[in-house]
Amino acid sequence: MPAPVTVELSEDDLERAEQYARDTVARYSTGDTMQALPWTGGELSDHDFREWVASRKQAGAAIDIETCEIGQWHAYDLDPYGMRYRFGELPDELQQVGRNEFVRSPTSNGWISTDDLSAEKVKALYARIERNRKQ
């Protein structure tokens, strides 16, 4: 295992990083508690949070990729909603963080990881992202 690396940030760099984090949380946590999930998961009981995570496949099957909101942020690659981490079920060696894509709509009851979308919907999502990038 590689040795840990320590990085020192200047006060300006630290403030920019903190502002970025505040802006990200503000953007993705807008709306009521349910629409902002997983960002607001701490407001739910453990049982309700588990049920919400279990509902993501069904929400993903119903979402319209052409009209949904698209978001991306860093999350555990094997635990994009943070459920396994919350319950101590994500071993240290699996706590790899990467940029993850999510979608939501007014009826999706929160964000949906691309892991919970069908292959066809993921393909349509990336096609939409590419079209938007070219505009």
Please give the pLDDT value at position 1. 65
Q: Where are the domains of the chain?
A: 11-134
CA 44/CA 38 separation, integer angstroms: 10
CA distance 80 to 103: 12
pLDDT digits (tens, 9 = 90+) for 62-103: 999 999 999 998 899 999 999 998 888 988 888 889 999 999
DSSP string, 90-101: S-GGG--EEEEE
- List, for residues 121-132, the tens digit of each pLDDT value: 999 999 999 998
Grouping H, G, I as helix, E, B as strand and the rest as coil, residue 79 is strand
